[in-house]
Amino acid sequence: MVDIIAAIIILLLFGGASIYIYREKKKGSHCIGCPMAGKCSKARACQALQKQTCRDPKAKA
């Protein structure tokens, strides 16, 4: 019985984390959980790369 309860708790935690990640990615977050909230140079580089590929579909990454 204890094993079943432990498995249910682990599945709930994993499911909750998966839903959180899915929602954040759907919003367009680049660095989930980043304390700089996407204002770092890596996030800006990702945004610039996405804009470039959106403008020119033949652009190489």
In the prediction, which pLDDT does 10 show? 98
Query: What is the C-alpha separation between 30 and 32, in angstroms, rounded?
Result: 6
**Measuring CA to CA, how many Å separate 16 from each of 10, 13, 38, 42, 57?**
10, 5, 22, 27, 35
For the segment 16-30, the average pLDDT, to the nearest whole number, is 86
pTM of the model: 0.54
For residues 26, 48, 61, 52, the Cα torsion angle rounded to the nearest 10 degrees is 100
Find all residues with CB under 8 Å of 48, minimum gap 6, and list them. none
For the segment 22-29, the average pLDDT, to the nearest whole number, is 83
Widest CA span in the chain = 58
